[in-house]
């Protein structure tokens, strides 16, 4: 049995490059995140989410008329078929929103007459259909599960503002719109994270984009991926106040646990997205009259970093989830909607990767993903087992 417990090389594919890509560059040592050549700081400050979607899908920033046409195309795809809304109403109201989103997303295929047809223009149509439809499904489910009337899209609003309107049946103020739009920009893409790798792996089989995106949603639902900011918010509520931080950190070290939101698989400095989100979280907390969650996060960051330095002699850094939790909470968004919000944004990046994978836009030709595995089974010694009839076992 001891042989079965031998460590497997490259567990989790950490540090293993599995494909070439022109979409995103994450420079962990420098703390840089780059979408198609553009720093995330520049995009967050200057670009709308729709501009970033266009950039990811078309490899360049849009001109004014192109952006107007792209916006109109997304708006035309916001209204999902009535049978999807009817289906959502049949589901148990206690279902997790991510499970609902994964179930309902493939149903968007019914409005896509281009599916199965060759040509990059057809998969781009599908990508727009998914970007628009996933937002509508998420807002509709939250209202249905809370026994509220589903709010139809408002095509006078941009993508982010329209989502908040469909969610709350109230048009958000300009500052909230700007902050939320920025949060969508920050979450749109992050290279070969778990859900993107999932989307590309499924796409490599020549499955259609709806199958790939649905699989990515399933990956995102995991607690260590899209669910990480959910765990951050639960942690903050468990701590409760600044005065209890020291005791919480001591408990974490004694139990060999984790401070959620600190540490990242790639960054060796503070996540640039966390740096942008922190002041947004502070301001949204002030607007909502709930400054305590940002203040608690800020103090936990300081003391958590200091504790890791003192007790383990290592530097630890904030990731995007650390401040997105208090930010979305201050916006009045239910904690279990944090992961769907991630999907509403990241679908743009997923779609770009599916297109790149299937059209070999960064490789000589498409290739089916088929990794190997180190077999460590040792059931009958070095030889194969002899099959024994059931009566003689």
25 labelled catalytic = no
The active-site residue out of 187, 271, 321, 353 is 321
Could you give the 3-state DSSP secondary structure of residue 335? helix
Helices within the chain (DSSP H only): 40-46, 49-58, 64-76, 82-90, 97-104, 120-145, 159-168, 174-187, 194-203, 209-220, 228-239, 245-254, 272-288, 292-312, 320-330, 338-358
321 labelled catalytic = yes
- Counting beta carbons within 10 angstroms of the beta carbon of residue 16, is it exposed (0 to 12), middle (13 to 18) or buried (19 or more)? exposed
The active-site residue out of 159, 187, 264, 353 is 264
First to last CA, the chain: 20
Could you give the 3-state DSSP secondary structure of residue 262? strand
Q: How far from the centroid of its chain's Cα atoms is residue 355's Cα?
A: 18
| Alpha-carbon gap, residue 144 to 129, rounded angstroms | 22
Residue with tokens 């920050």: 186
Could you give the 3-state DSSP secondary structure of residue 188? coil
Quote the DSSP letter at residue 334. -
- Catalytic site positions: 264, 321
């Amino acid at each position: 049995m001891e042989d079965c417990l031998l460590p497997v090389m490259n567990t989790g594919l950490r540090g293993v490059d599995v494909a070439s890509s022109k979409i995103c560059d994450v420079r962990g040592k420098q703390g840089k995140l780059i979408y198609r050549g553009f720093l995330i700081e520049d995009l967050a400050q200057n670009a709308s989410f729709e501009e970033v979607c266009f950039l990811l899908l078309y490899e360049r920033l849009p001109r004014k008329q192109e952006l107007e046409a792209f916006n109109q195309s997304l708006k035309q795809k916001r209204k999902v078929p009535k049978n999807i809304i009817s289906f959502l109403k049949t589901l148990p109201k206690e279902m997790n929103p991510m499970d609902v989103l994964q179930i309902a997303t493939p149903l968007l295929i019914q409005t896509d007459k281009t599916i199965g047809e060759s040509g990059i223009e057809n998969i781009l149509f599908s990508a727009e259909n998914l970007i628009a439809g996933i937002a509508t499904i998420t807002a509709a489910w939250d209202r249905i599960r809370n026994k509220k009337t589903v709010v139809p899209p408002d095509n006078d609003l941009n993508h982010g503002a329209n989502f908040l309107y469909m969610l709350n049946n109230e048009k958000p103020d300009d500052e909230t719109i700007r902050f939320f739009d920025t949060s969508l920009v920050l979450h749109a893409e992050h290279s070969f994270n778990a859900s993107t790798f999932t989307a590309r792996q499924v796409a490599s089989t020549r499955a259609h984009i709806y199958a790939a995106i649905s699989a990515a949603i399933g990956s995102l639902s995991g607690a260590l991926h899209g669910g990480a900011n959910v765990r951050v918010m639960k942690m903050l509520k468990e701590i409760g106040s600044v005065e209890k931080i020291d005791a919480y950190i001591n408990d974490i070290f004694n139990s060999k646990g984790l401070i959620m939101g600190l540490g990242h698989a790639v960054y060796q400095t503070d996540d640039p997205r966390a740096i942008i989100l922190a002041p947004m979280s502070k301001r949204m907390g002030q607007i909502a009259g709930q400054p305590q969650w940002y203040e608690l996060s800020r103090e936990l960051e300081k003391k958590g970093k200091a504790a890791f330095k003192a007790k383990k002699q290592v530097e630890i850094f904030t990731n995007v989830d650390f401040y997105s939790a208090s930010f979305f909470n201050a916006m009045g968004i239910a904690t279990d909607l944090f992961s769907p919000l991630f999907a509403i944004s990241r679908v743009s990046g997923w779609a770009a990767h599916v297109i790149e994978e299937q059209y070999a836009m960064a490789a000589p030709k498409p290739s089916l993903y088929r990794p190997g595995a180190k077999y460590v089974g040792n059931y009958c010694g070095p030889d194969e087992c002899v099959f024994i009839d059931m009566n003689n076992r």
